[in-house]
Structure 1
Amino acid sequence: MTRNAQALGGASARWVETLPALVAGLSRDWSLTLGPTLHGGSSSYVAEAQTADGEAAVLKVAMADYEPIAGEVATLELAQGRGYARLLAADLSRGALLTERLGLALGRHGYGLERRMQALGQALRAAWRPLAHPPTALMSGAEKAAWHVGFAPQTWEATGRPCSERLLDLVLAFAQRRGGAYAAEAAMLLHGDPHEANALADPAAPGGFRFVDPDGLYAEPAFDVGALLRDWTDELLTADPLALGRSWCEQLASLTGVPVEAAWEWAVIERTSTGLLLMKLGAEAEGRRTLAVAEAWAKGSA
């Protein structure tokens, strides 16, 4: 986290210098007793905490100018603990939130991949929910698709065209299709960034998991399924990426009840944009591996 902040410079670098005072102020205002820092985050300070009434909690303070938390807070407020950690307090002006403390992340339980996929599918179904009105604080599925239409070609050019033009054209076609398919009446509150590290054991339901760190999105549930397939690059590259990726997509779609092709189109979009983002951030090796899978997927997509 500190290295990333210093690399970004500006407000993010200054944020590191002011963080101790910021955390001390939040601890005082929210009557918290702080515990160990939770490592692994790249853009926020996260620590165990205990509230004045003894509840186990987690304090998160987002890096200035890098990780806006408005979408996260809005999602947790709307979810009210259903499928997510309960939100206990939030202060957008200080980029901070306090949630209940859940258990270990899914990836730390030693489960095989099939079981982890099942757990993620079940957790997503429990977290998705329709709302009476589209939330103004969250991006819609149409807006997310439009974001990709802008981001992908611009970043492709800026990073030296690291994937084929055929893949880029496919991403743009898929994004336009998914954007056109958006219907507010069929949309649901989604996580937006589901993966194994964001699914934590639910102390109240042994064997179950709830989510943390949502981006927040109001879109077709197929988006979250497609977003899951940004992961597991190592496994995909040691097999036939297309055959295995399609198999996983079909399995996850069956578990969650979403249309396979919609999930697949979002998977191609999200994996390609993730690869381009990694290239932009300087993680060239991982970016090229991520894009190599997307290239294989493009050969079997229309």
Structure 2
Amino acid sequence: MRLQPLARRRLAGLGAAGESWLAALPGLLDELEQEWGVRVERRSLPGGSNGLVAPATTADGQARVVKVAAPGVDLARQAEVLGAAAGRGHVRLHAHDRRRQALLLDGLGRSLAQTPLPVEDVVAALTATLVEAWAAPAPPLPARVRDRAADLARGLDDLAARSEHDASPAVLDHARRCAARRSAAHDPARCVVAHGDAHPANLLRAPDAPTGWLLVDAEGTVAERAYDVGVALRDLSSALQEPPTAAGRLRGWCVQAAAATGTDPDAVWDWAFLERVSTGLYVTSIGSRAVGRPMLTSAAAVLAGR
């Protein structure tokens, strides 16, 4: 099986469990092909990091995608969010096999990350589709809404301690201050079922959708809307490497994104910085320094240019 490098690193870190899952994967796909009436290509699409995301085709030629989670990854929440949304703002779900941890989804076009556009147009596409996704039917909120910022803050020190990374003490301190501000402002009444990971690689071309795009890989995180917007700005790191311009550029995107989504630009800034550091540390800790380093160096450039 041809998997994406980040997925292979994840499986390698699981030891025998990862090897067993990979060995059983061809047979599992054979079973899904029979049950779902599709032909699955034995390769992973770009971006899959938590298992296999493979192109498939129905008997009458319609494009589909089969997603199979690696050990320890539960797709139940994603299936719940996609099923409720019924194709609005999110990719359409056709089937969910809970036992095999597999989803059958609509096949979509190229991702926003693969589409050359000015950053301001990238921000516009992400925010417009987030607004559409928030308007879709969603699962009910839990009885107790967790404080997302507090959860991320608790993980910062642990992540920083168990990986070789490029986050300076000043960057970590600023990320903690961002988390403290968002935690102090936490209000369950203002929270929604957010996408949770709306970066450019998770926005795929869908010409028939109102915005021309649909979101994939919904995490269904419960948080304020500004959280989703901050995550959307998290991966725009390549344009934030020069201290003289980094802070101003990020501030401009925060203002643009907040205006498009009816959120607070200061809240978007806090989430964009906190998620940039937290995610940079996380992907570094699982062996993908090439992905994590630009997030952390961009955080340093933003902080230096303030």
How far did 1:23 drift?
A: 0.7
Checking the alignment, whether the CA contact within 8 Å between 1:56 and 1:100 is kept in structure 2 is: yes
User: Secondary structure of the equivalent of 2:238?
Assistant: helix
> What corresponds to 2:180 in structure 1?
176
> What corresponds to 1:232 in structure 2?
236
Checking the alignment, whether the CA contact within 8 Å between 2:85 and 2:137 is kept in structure 1 is: no
Residue ranges of structure 2 left out of the alignment (5+ in a row): none
How far did 1:174 drift?
A: 2.4
Matched pairs, number: 298
How far did 1:293 drift?
A: 2.0
Checking the alignment, whether the CA contact within 8 Å between 2:139 and 2:193 is kept in structure 1 is: no
Task: State how far apart, in whole Å, the 2-side matches of 1:130 and 1:24 are.
Answer: 34
How far did 1:164 drift?
A: 3.1
1:151 aligns with 2:171: no
Checking the alignment, whether the CA contact within 8 Å between 2:80 and 2:139 is kept in structure 1 is: no
User: Secondary structure of the equivalent of 1:240?
Assistant: helix
Match of 1:202 among 203, 206, 210: 206
1:59 aligns with 2:66: yes
Question: Any idea what the Cα deviations from partners look like across 1:58-96, whole Å, max 9, x if unmatched?
Answer: 11111122x332221122122221101111110122110
Checking the alignment, whether the CA contact within 8 Å between 2:66 and 2:102 is kept in structure 1 is: yes
> What corresponds to 1:273 in structure 2?
278
Task: State how far apart, in whole Å, the 2-side matches of 1:108 and 1:16 are.
Answer: 28
> What corresponds to 2:251 in structure 1?
246
1:106 aligns with 2:112: yes
Task: State how far apart, in whole Å, the 2-side matches of 1:190 and 1:206 are.
Answer: 19
Tell me: CA distance 1:300–1:70, structure 2 relative to 1, closer, same or farther (3 Å).
farther
Match of 1:11 among 12, 17, 21: 17
How far did 1:44 drift?
A: 1.9
1:163 aligns with 2:170: no
Identity across the alignment (%) = 36
How far did 1:42 drift?
A: 2.9
User: Secondary structure of the equivalent of 2:96?
Assistant: strand
Question: Any idea what the Cα deviations from partners look like across 1:45-65, whole Å, max 9, x if unmatched?
Answer: 222223456543211111122
Question: Any idea what the Cα deviations from partners look like across 1:214-234, whole Å, max 9, x if unmatched?
Answer: 122121110111112221222
TM-score, normalised with respect to structure 1: 0.87
Greater shift, 126-135 or 225-234, is seen at: 126-135
Task: State how far apart, in whole Å, the 1-side matches of 2:290 and 2:55 are.
Answer: 33
Task: State how far apart, in whole Å, the 2-side matches of 1:272 and 1:14 are.
Answer: 33
Task: State how far apart, in whole Å, the 1-side matches of 2:282 and 2:263 are.
Answer: 27
Greater shift, 19-28 or 224-233, is seen at: 224-233
Greater shift, 158-167 or 95-104, is seen at: 158-167
TM-score, normalised with respect to structure 2: 0.86
Task: State how far apart, in whole Å, the 2-side matches of 1:158 and 1:111 are.
Answer: 36
Checking the alignment, whether the CA contact within 8 Å between 1:268 and 1:298 is kept in structure 2 is: no
Match of 2:81 among 51, 63, 75: 75
Task: State how far apart, in whole Å, the 2-side matches of 1:286 and 1:37 are.
Answer: 22
Checking the alignment, whether the CA contact within 8 Å between 2:165 and 2:284 is kept in structure 1 is: no
> What corresponds to 1:287 in structure 2?
292
Task: State how far apart, in whole Å, the 1-side matches of 2:207 and 2:136 are.
Answer: 25
Question: Any idea what the Cα deviations from partners look like across 1:148-179, whole Å, max 9, x if unmatched?
Answer: 12210112222367433333233223223323
Residue ranges of structure 1 left out of the alignment (5+ in a row): none
1:48 aligns with 2:55: yes
> What corresponds to 2:99 in structure 1?
93
Checking the alignment, whether the CA contact within 8 Å between 1:167 and 1:295 is kept in structure 2 is: yes
Task: State how far apart, in whole Å, the 2-side matches of 1:3 and 1:288 are.
Answer: 19
The AA in structure 2 aligned to 1:114 is E
Instruction: Give the alignment of 1:110-129 within 5 angstroms.
Output: 110-129=116-135
Question: Any idea what the Cα deviations from partners look like across 1:19-48, whole Å, max 9, x if unmatched?
Answer: 001111111122223346343223322222
